[in-house]
Amino acid sequence: MGRKRTIEPDAVLDAAEQVVMRDGAARLSLDAVACVAGISKASVLYDYKTKQALIRAVVERRLAAHRACERDAAKELGDGADAAIRGRISLASHSLTDEDRAVALGLLASLAHDAELREPVALAYRERLAEVEHTSRNPRGALLAFLALEGLMSLEWLGLQTWARDERARFISEIGWLVSQDPAPATLPERSTTCTGN
């Protein structure tokens, strides 16, 4: 009979997040995670054979937690049309925590350089976009709201822009207004085949 497992996977992932916040994902090592968790490296290797596998687990856990919050917010609004996008907007009305921002920034470099690590994020976005499109009365307006929200959140996640609380609340409200819009298809101007400039 094998030895009973005493280390919870969440404890290892919590430690990994602490290392990511402190050092960034590029400097994350299984040794550093074991040290923060107060366990042996062998205990970390039991579940996560590589640094990449550990980072992927951190990313997937963050995505799952965020998805659960989105679903809870949508349930509070009822099961009607637009609940998915309005739940997402409701969730975005809360400012980011410093911890969330630190973990996101710590993981970003690893995601940028590793297509395998990006795959869970890409899958989550595909699922969310499909859900918004299929559950909204005006899919185009809802998709525009989704994109506007992602732009706002990206600027905040990356620490590139912050707004006063009232201004941010106004943006969130205006993004909510987009959900009910049904924009006419855009007519794109014909493109010139000649280049101008130097």
CA–CA gap between residue 12 and residue 38 (Å, rounded)? 9
Decide if 127 is inside a domain. yes
Q: For 3-52, write each residue's pLDDT tens digit.
A: 444 567 789 999 999 999 998 888 899 999 999 999 999 999 888 999 99
Decide if 20 is inside a domain. no
Do 114 and 63 form a contact (C-beta atoms < 8 A)? no
pLDDT at 188: 67
Decide if 189 is inside a domain. no
Do 82 and 20 form a contact (C-beta atoms < 8 A)? no
Q: Which two tokens stand for residue 161?
A: 């822009």
The arithmetic mean of pLDDT across residues 136-154, rounded, is 95
CA–CA gap between residue 147 and residue 67 (Å, rounded)? 17
The arithmetic mean of pLDDT across residues 46-67, rounded, is 92
Per the structure, the complete domain to which residue 140 belongs is given by 59-179
Give which of 75, 24, 69 is closest to 51, Cα–Cα: 24
In percent, how much of the chain has pLDDT > 90? 59
Q: What is the Rg, in whole angstroms, of the alpha carbon atoms belonging to the chain? A: 21
Decide if 17 is inside a domain. no
Query: What's the number of domains the chain is made of?
Result: 1
- Helix 9-23 vs helix 51-76: crossing angle, to nearest 10: 100
At 15, the amino acid letter reads A
Q: Which two tokens stand for residue 193?
A: 């085949």
Q: Who has greater pLDDT, 104 or 68? A: 68
At 166, the amino acid letter reads D
CA neighbours within 13 Å on the CB side: how many for 124?
16
Confidence band, pLDDT 50/70/90 cuts, at residue 194:
low
Decide if 151 is inside a domain. yes
Decide if 117 is inside a domain. yes
pLDDT at 17: 93
Q: For 88-110, write each residue's pLDDT tens digit.
A: 999 999 877 888 888 888 888 88
Q: Which two tokens stand for residue 137?
A: 């009365």
Mean pLDDT lowest for which of 96-100, 121-125, 162-166, 177-181? Answer: 96-100
